[in-house]
Amino acid sequence: MEEAQTFEEMGLSEARLAAIEAQGWSIPTPIQKKAIQPALQGTDVVGIAQTGTGKTGAFMIPSLEQIEPGGGLQVLALCPTRELAQQVAEDARLLSRGTSVRVADIVGGVNYDPQNEALSSGYEVIAATPGRFNDHMERGNVDLSNLRVLILDEADRMLDMGFRPQIEDVLRRSPQSRQTMLFSATMPNGVHALALRITKDAVWVEATPQGTTAEGIEEMVYTVKPGKKPELLMYLLERPGWNQVLVFTRTKAGADVLRGHLEKAGVGVDVMHSDRGMKQRVRALDRFSSGSIRVLVATDVAQRGLDVEGISHVVNYDVPQDPEDYVHRIGRTGRAGAAGNAVTFVVSTDLGFLRSIEMRLKRKLPRESLPEFDYAQGGTSKATLSGRPRRTRTGGGMGSKSASELSPEELEALLNPDS
């Protein structure tokens, strides 16, 4: 089948085309070009796509085209996190403009009553987290008899989070005649086996090779002393263009501590992690999306599913321990073809994680050395936030290379000359 180059060539309804135009989407993304047409014909689809590639449109546009208003629950999208489910539901609402299709998100951490109402009233589209949706199934609130399309979004993440039993329960209760679409950023053995088992003669589509990052993202690594991380971040925030910054920490406690540092420095900041209540997380995301705060500090709860336009920079304040998490984190910037920037702070004990990331990416990440912060420079000068730190050359058997030109092994040798 020849791929359509425009949404108009796909044969979509006038209402759908108008909703797409209202979204500002002019040309389908690669994953949309590959997935929408077979899905419109009722074919099962397995999609391999990174975040920021337009995959929600790839599965939601054809799903909405199949809905009969008033026919009860017909499209169910299961997502690993509340934030992703809410974003998928919001996209579905926007793509349903001009129609009578009703959309709800079914997620944990909020009151059951509105969700009960949506399910009992037969909302046509539901985006849900597996845990809360299964709670409703156990309570007898869910009727899947008219389900036309079952979508598993971020399937790899859902399996990583232990949602396989809930997914299997939904699969058992769903009509065998349904259309199934499974989307995943990676395709490990468990996800591959699941995709083969639950789909029938599926079309497999891939937007980007596994383990690659979205185009248009400029990446940089800074080697830094652990105690200098807050000062380095403050220095970078003073650079032009650092307008909307998403910072990832490894722990919830680390996120809270960093928030305190930034607040004391007068930076507009909020925090997002699993210890925060649902209202607090929604408020933080709304403040960040609207631009009322400049920095959002988050744990990996936000690495997938957080869809905010215009994020200028993603900062890995702590190096992710899983190379795939690096890809997903930095995918929050440079979305849908826009330019973006990703910065990673690396302390000496993180070199192994950095090597794993580079091995997965099959390329070396560029380095920049700022001597006032760099653990390889001996810490002889004090950081100043008003002027650009000087750059120095390192000696000691490494020739005239700068720290940014040293390999991780050379940096290790420089720090531990007797090893």
Q: How much is the mean pLDDT over the chain? A: 85
Provide mean pLDDT across the span 363-381: 79
Whole-angstrom distance, CA of residue 237 vs CA of residue 233: 6
User: Would you say 306 and 277 are in contact if contact means Cβ atoms under 8 Å apart?
Assistant: no
Starting at the earlier edge strand, list the strands of the sheet with 340-346.
217-223, 340-346, 313-316, 245-248, 295-298, 269-272
Note the Cα 260 to chain centre separation in Å. 25
Tell me whether strands 179-184 and 125-128 are parallel, antiparallel or unpaired.
unpaired
The answer to whether domain 8-206 and domain 217-415 are alike in fold is: yes
Given a cut of 60, whether residue 218 has pLDDT beyond it is yes
Q: Spell out the CATH class of 217-415.
A: alpha beta
pLDDT value of position 402:
42
pLDDT (tens digit, 9 = 90+) per residue, 13-42?
A: 999 999 999 998 989 999 999 999 999 999
User: Would you say 391 and 370 are in contact if contact means Cβ atoms under 8 Å apart?
Assistant: yes
pLDDT value of position 275:
83
pLDDT (tens digit, 9 = 90+) per residue, 284-324?
A: 888 998 899 999 999 876 555 566 778 899 999 999 988 87
pLDDT value of position 378:
55
CATH number of 8-206: 3.40.50.300
Closest CA to 316 of 283, 282, 354, 289: 354
pLDDT (tens digit, 9 = 90+) per residue, 221-275?
A: 999 998 999 999 999 999 999 999 999 999 999 999 999 999 999 999 999 887 8
Which residues partner with 203 through β-bridges?
45
Given a cut of 60, whether residue 405 has pLDDT beyond it is no
pLDDT bracket for residue 332 (50, 70, 90): confident
Q: Residue ranges of the domains in the chain? A: 8-206, 217-415
